[in-house]
Chains A and B, each alone.
Chain A
Amino acid sequence: MNAFETMAPADGLTRRRGLLVPALILLLVFAALPALLAGFDKGYFYQIANLALIFVLLSASMHLVTGVAGLLHLGHAAFYGVGAYTAALLTSKLGLGFTVTLPLSGLVAALVAFLVALPTMRLVSIYFAVATLAIGQMLYLVMLNWVDFTKGPNGIIVSKGFELFGFSLSGRLGAYYTVAAVVTLSVVAIGRLSHSYYGNALRSIREDDQCADAMGVSTVRLKMEAFTLSAFFAGIAGSLWAHMTGYISPGDFKFSESILILAMVVVGGLGSLPGAIIGALLLILLPEGLRALGDFRNIMVGLVMFLSILLLPKGLLGEVSALRLVRRQLGAAWRNTGKGEGIGWR
């Protein structure tokens, strides 16, 4: 009998409840929202919905590295940009479709992240934050100034919309379903990563990396893995963005975007995946809802961030309550299989 069993008993009730909330969320994302969108039938609403979903993925991927592993990452938007540019260049130069560019964008972003992580992952705390800031700015400068390759500030037109093995999904509803499906799958993957023994190892780095090191957790390797994985998902988000808007330019991937993603994770609650999702929805939908305020909506982003740090230091949905929610309601509780496997690396 281990401690986790008493925390979340794996009886029939929990298991059934564990299916209810995911089913409701899926119903909302794949049936209710598209029905609403189709009811209004305005391109603008589709744009907002897709944008919000893409930022949910970005925020979730940053949650993995900043929330769970506790590494302050100030250059996340650059990897999002690497993914978007990979998709755009593959489409415009080689004429490849979305089915091919989606995984490739993620892989290229992950590869770039892995290469820059090799020398810098040994740094801790503020030094790490500074290094990621510099890396992000360097990647941004490459996008901006390597005019022969990236067309610089003019940006690239992405001529192809979404498709799946040749079937075009570039209609409004098709695009929404593609984005929603990719984002949902990725968020589930990130959720499985952060609510597992693997996620706990990352949390141990955040709490005390020297102690974790002494306990036999390979901190440098885990940091690199978390960094690379988060860049992979950021690259996926970039590919979605490129195919969704049909036009990308370096301005979409500058420092302020990194800060916006960071603000989402912080407002939602560091270390909490549901919080990161709520934060992303809040910071994308709130400025759109406040469109009537005109120029003041950007100030609102700063104010929301400031007030939430001041008044809700744990975020809208703090880590502890988020963990409880995920374990109880989303069926992610650890279950002892009874085969004597015990606690360990999976």
Chain B
Amino acid sequence: MFDPYYLQQLAIGLSLGMTYALMAIGFTLIFGVLNVVNFAHGEVYTLGAFAGLVLISATAPPIVAVILGALAIGALAGFSLERLAFKPFRRFTDEASLKSRAMRESTLLSSLAVSIVVREALEIVFGSQMRSVPFEYLINTPVRVGPVILVTGDFIIFGVAAAMLIGLQFLLTRTRVGLAIRAVSNNPLGAKYVGIDTDRTIITTFVVGSMMGAAAGILMGLYYGAVFPAMGFTPGIKAFVAMVMGGLSSIPGAVICALILGISESMATTFVSSGWSDMVAYGFLILTLIFFPNGLFGARRERV
């Protein structure tokens, strides 16, 4: 069992899981405040990666600047996404229409439509082929730790993700903005009554969530060295799975489930070909929905 190969797969799985976790947090935050699923989240990931790529080919800045640039684009994407695809469908703010199925489904479909437009626009601008990241920016210099050979990317991803998680935790529990976000996700109408600007809070949530998604995108782009318009789809679905497994509204649950997903996926590639490894995520999702409909870490829900 102590074959170093498994330890190595574990490390790869952890980095993979960390990027899923960053994505899943975006999903969870947005689901928390609006009770809707943002299907354009995968495109935010892609936009982050492309922003980094454009920055690299334009000015060749240090890697920290690349990540910061991707974060800025992510924030912008989150802001405009909320304005375009979600705000117009929040014309009515009474409780009945906030909970109505029609509202939820129209925002789901509008975010889907926006994601199609963004992906196709990226394909027109950059072409649908994979574009490779310049060699000197790749974060895969091997590092030897005991019996295991890791790459620098594993450390960078782990470090950036951990920093962002801690930052998020600080934001949510120690600042007024975080308090507002938690209040809105707890009870939107109640938050409005006590004087919280719900509209601004929702935008803040989108900006924070999308920054995390964009960070995941650029990190994975540098890790694998390939950036293409359809790259956001698979991580988007995985993060979605992690969110559902974690119980839809629980951030720690989503992070833990994202790590479980990442690790089990990279472990699965040792037994089956990589094409089948996606099956793991979907299998987990179906099993969770059937046997733990509240999610593994979620609070009790009335109906599933």
Contact = CB atoms under 8 A, between A and B. Distances in A.
A126 interface: yes
Given A124-B303, A255-B233, A309-B113, A137 B120 contact: no
B293 interface: yes
B275 A130 contact: no
Nearest to B112: A259
Interface residues of B, number: 40
A303 B110 CA distance: 10
B290 A144 contact: no
Interface stretch (A161-169, A172-180, A188-196, A293-301): A293-301
Interface string A309-333: 1100100000000000000000000
A84 interface: no
Could you tell me the dominant secondary structure of chain B's interface residues?
A: helix
A125 B101 contact: yes
Interface residues of A, number: 38
B278 interface: yes
A298 B233 CA distance: 17
Contact of B282 (A137, A263, A310, A313): A137
B120 A298 contact: yes
Could you tell me the dominant secondary structure of chain A's interface residues?
A: helix
B293 A127 contact: yes
Contact of B110 (A127, A129, A144, A310): A310
Interface in B271-286: 273, 275-276, 278-279, 282-283, 285-286
Contacts of A127: 244, 289, 293, 304
B285 A302 contact: no
B229 to A, nearest CB: 11
Contacts of B85: 306
A116 B102 CA distance: 26
Contacts of B275: 141, 144-145
Nearest to A135: B286
B240 interface: yes
Given A123-B289, A144-B275, A299 B124 contact: yes
Interface in B93-110: 101-102, 104-106, 108-110
A131 B289 contact: yes
A70 interface: yes
B304 A305 contact: no
B285 A134 contact: yes
Interface of B: 37, 85, 88, 101-102, 104-106, 108-110, 112-117, 120-121, 123-124, 233, 237, 240-241, 244, 273, 275-276, 278-279, 282-283, 285-286, 289-290, 293, 303-304
16 contacts: A119-B290, A120-B286, A123-B304, A124-B303, A126-B37, A130-B244, A134-B282, A134-B286, A135-B286, A145-B275, A259-B116, A295-B120, A302-B113, A303-B117, A305-B109, A305-B116
